[in-house]
Amino acid sequence: MELHQNWKAFFAEAGDISRFTSRFFVQGAKPRQEVAEFFRQCFIIGYKSLPLIGLTGFIMGLVLTMQIRPTMVSYGVQSQIPAMVGIAIVREIGPVITALIFAGKIGSSIGAELGSMKVTEQIDAMEVSGTNPYKYLVVTRVLACTLMLPVLVMLSDAISLYGSYLGVNIRGRTSFAFFFKVVFNNLDFSDVIPAFLKSFFFGFAVGVIGCYKGYNSNKGTEGVGYSANSAVVLSSVIVFIIDLIAVQITDILGLN
């Protein structure tokens, strides 16, 4: 009984989310583009996430390198550390970790912001003042997330590699030029492009889920907290699911 109801609720929510997402494409195409609000959101979502993404990226590269080092040394292939770390960061760790941090920071803040606007009737107030709140609030935020996350991923990758370079130099001695030569010799387009493309989907998912959870918030402050929390949980899970799908696609296309 319990399980049966859970499944029913699960499919009902999946349906709601699909409908919410399809509204994005329908409404996004309609006139009166909210350009100013879109750029404001890009600034908030992109620029203001930079320090956090930069810090986590740096630590990730450094720690990964230091942890991998003993094994590589024992196999006598320590000169290949940059290649290994480079591929790991660019193909997988960079996009996924950045997307997860992004979900934690941006997904929750969108969920909480729209949630509190919903319960205090601000969304209704927008609608009665001749503004389509879905376009003004949701379309702008989802677009900003979709476009900003790939940029953040690239920056995070670059900072991670720099962290890794420092990590190599803690025990060994490698020149900056040599480190990046090995990294780029082992990276092709077939490594970079799929990772870049999937980060658009990660960004889209975080934006849509954050907005969906906020927009459908229940009355009361508890409802707002729940929206923020479930936005992070659900968008993190979806990031992994998209990652799983992406790896199948690149595999079928022979890009692995």
Partner 1 sequence: MLVEEKTILTNKINSKQQPVVEIRHLKKSFGNNVVLDDFSIELKKGENLVVLGRSGSGKSVLIKCIIGLLKPDAGTIDVLGYDMLNLDEDELDKVRAKIGFLFQSNALYDSMTVRENLEFPLRRSWIAINQQQIDEMVLEALTNVDLAHTINMMPVELSGGMRKRIALARTLILKPDIILYDEPTTGLDPITGKEIDELIVAIQKKYNTASFIITHDINCVRLVADRVAVLMDGHCYAEGTFDELQKSTDSKVKQFFE
Binding site for partner 1 (CB under 8 A): 113, 116-117, 119-122, 124-132
Find the shortest distance in angstroms from Cβ 128 to partner 1: 5
Listed residue (130, 147, 120) closest to 204, CA to CA: 147
CB 227 within 8 A of CB 217: yes
Least spacing, CB of residue 131 vs partner 1, in Å: 5
CA angle 80/82/85 to nearest 5° reads: 105
Nearest residue (CB) to partner 1, 132 versus 174:
132
Backbone dihedral region for residue 33 (phi beyond 0: left; psi -120 to 50: alpha; all else: beta): beta
Q: How far is the CB of 28 from partner 1 (least distance, A)?
A: 15
- Using the minimum distance from each CB to partner 1, give the nearer residue, 5 or 129: 129
Choice between 121 and 251, CB closer to partner 1: 121
- For partner 1, the closer CB: 55 or 126: 126
Q: DSSP letter at 172?
A: S
Q: 114 or 208: whose CB is closer to partner 1?
A: 114
Least distance in angstroms from the C-beta of 120 to partner 1 = 5
CA-CA-CA-CA dihedral for 170, 171, 177, 183, to nearest 10: -100
Burial class (CB in 10 A: 0-12, 13-18, 19+), 226: middle
Least distance CB 132 / partner 1 (angstroms)? 8
